[in-house]
Amino acid sequence: MIKKETVLSGIRPTGNLHLGNYFGAVQNFVKMQHQADAYFFIADYHSLTTHPTPADLHGNVKQVLAEYLACGLDPDAATLYVQSDLPETTELYLLLNMNAYLGELERTTSFKDKARKQPENVNAGLLTYPVLMAADILIHKADKVPVGKDQEQNLEMARKFAKRFNRMYQVEFFKEPIPYNFGEELIKIPGLDGSGKMGKSEGNGLYLVDDEATIRKKVMKAKTDTGPTVPNSEMPEEIKNLFTIAQIVSKPETVTMFRNSYLDCSIRYGDFKKQLADDITSFTLPIRERILSISSDNEYLKKVVTLGADKARASASSTLNEVRHIIGFRHF
Ligand code: TYM
């Protein structure tokens, strides 16, 4: 029998899912979950780096779970679990930490970013964040990891730790996981504020759970310039960003029409934004309706995570037993 590919991804439960999470990770995973040996988890250990209150942590885990399900994650096809239900991950994290070096961890972009943004809380969890992420991936020996562009470096680190383990113990044990997107290139969905990426901490997100009025308000407020005055001119970053979002939610002919009107300087940003808000709403509304109905179904959510934890543990404990044996933790 040919072994199926293993696909794994995860998201921190630090707020509602936004379009970036959806197009960067969730949608790609959903497309693969029926062909692959598929794992999707809620990275609640990772979210402790920002010190949530117990009530927020629990509430966010539940909410994100409901949102995954609403996006089409199928708990019968994929193993859908909460990271902290799988303590095997933390043992592998400890073992991998022994071969992860301070210099390389300090040099990662995400660590430097976080250290800059929260100088009052540069904790060891932040520093070793890529090691925990590698443990998440390697514990199921994942081949492919659907993620957005911002996770590329973390995946590089995971490959490095896998290779280092194999080399150190002279085994061909861990595979080297690759970041994955169906469109081939990893993507970055921009925010509406004209800068960087859409993100939870950036406060520039369009959330799947947003209602029509909220989406409209956010899009109408999006940063724009005064408009093109010279035909065929280069678009400023904030306008390019709106087109990037239009490309994923609007019909191709709509995008072409507005692009042409930009090029010949006849574009009216108000019309463009109105159309964009309509298209985002048509896309997210059915997901929103499912979120609202699933999030109140506590029994169902409980069933899903219990089943997921059992399935995840079977795979994780088998990997961990082998790792322990390779390292030399053996029975007398
Ligand atoms: P997190 O929770 O920040 O984001 C979850 C996923 O969404 C993607 N994403 C985006 N993609 C495109 N454009 C955007 N604007 C955008 N914003 C977020 C992210 O790339 C990510 O795929 N460290 C991870 C969680 C994690 C994980 C793992 C992922 C922990 N262990 C193991 C994969 C495998 C994180 O914080 O993602």
Residue boundaries of the structural domains of the chain: 6-187+297-327, 212-292
Residue 89 C-alpha to ligand 1 middle, in angstroms? Answer: 18
Candidates 114, 141, 218, 273; catalytic one = 114
| Banded model confidence at residue 111, pLDDT cuts 50, 70, 90 | very high
6-187+297-327 and 212-292, same CATH topology: no
> How confident is residue 189, by pLDDT bands cut at 50, 70 and 90?
very high
Do residues 88 and 313 make contact, with C-beta atoms less than 8 angstroms apart?
yes
- Would the CB of 136 count as within 6 Å of ligand 1? yes
- The confidence score (pLDDT) of residue 264 equals 95
Query: Class of 212-292 per CATH?
Result: mainly alpha
- pLDDT for res 274: 98
- Which amino acid is located at 66 in the chain? A
- What is the residue with the minimal CA distance to atom 6 of ligand 1? 21
Q: Which listed residue (62, 141, 144, 200) is catalytic? A: 200
Cα(133) to centroid of ligand 1, in Å? 11
Q: Summarize pLDDT for 33-81 with one digit per residue, the tens.
A: 999 999 999 999 999 999 999 999 999 999 999 999 999 999 999 999 9
Identify the CA nearest to 137 among candidates 146, 127, 128: 146
Q: Is 303 a catalytic residue?
A: no
pLDDT tens digits for range 217-253: 999 999 999 999 999 999 999 999 999 999 999 999 9
Residues with Cβ within 8 Å of residue 194, at least 6 apart in sequence: 222, 223, 236, 237, 238, 241
Q: Is 240 a catalytic residue?
A: no
Q: Is 125 within 8 Å of 90 (Cβ atoms)?
A: no
Q: Residue 55 burial by CB count (10 A; 0-12/13-18/19+): exposed, middle or buried?
A: exposed
Instruction: List C-alpha distances in Å: 223 to 192, 219, 220, 242, 245.
Output: 6, 9, 9, 9, 13
Distance, CA 109 to ligand 1 centroid (Å)?
A: 14
Q: What is the CATH number of domain 6-187+297-327?
A: 3.40.50.620
Label residue 89 by pLDDT band (50, 70, 90).
Answer: very high
Q: What is the pLDDT of residues 299-328, one digit of tens each?
A: 999 999 999 999 999 999 999 999 999 999
Of 62, 141, 144, 197, which is the active-site residue?
Answer: 197
Cα atoms in the Cβ-side hemisphere of radius 13 Å centred on 247 = 13
Q: Rounded mean pLDDT of the chain?
A: 96
